[in-house]
Amino acid sequence: MYVAWVLLATGVALLRNSGWLLVSVPVAAALVHRDVLREERELAGQDPEAFRRYTAAVPRYLPRLKELR
């Protein structure tokens, strides 16, 4: 979802020839990433073992290459 949002916003910025939007995409993505890390810390604090299993099974943003085969 997050990767699709970045790609979509980047595409719109390029199509609209909008420099300010193109510059704002990485800034917004960095802010979202910061929130993702915060939420992960909170979840890990609630149930560390379950969160460890979850993170071992589910990649954060992109699928693992071995899963694409």
Q: What is the pLDDT of residue 66?
A: 76
pTM exceeding the 0.85 threshold for the entire prediction: no
CA-to-CA distance for 68 and 28, rounded, in angstroms?
A: 28
Structure-token pair, residue 1 = 């979802």
Answer for the pair 36, 60: CB distance below 8 angstroms, yes or no.
yes
Q: What is the pLDDT of residue 65?
A: 80
Please identify every stretch of the chain with a pLDDT value under 70, giving residue numbers as ranges: 67-69
DSSP state of 17: T
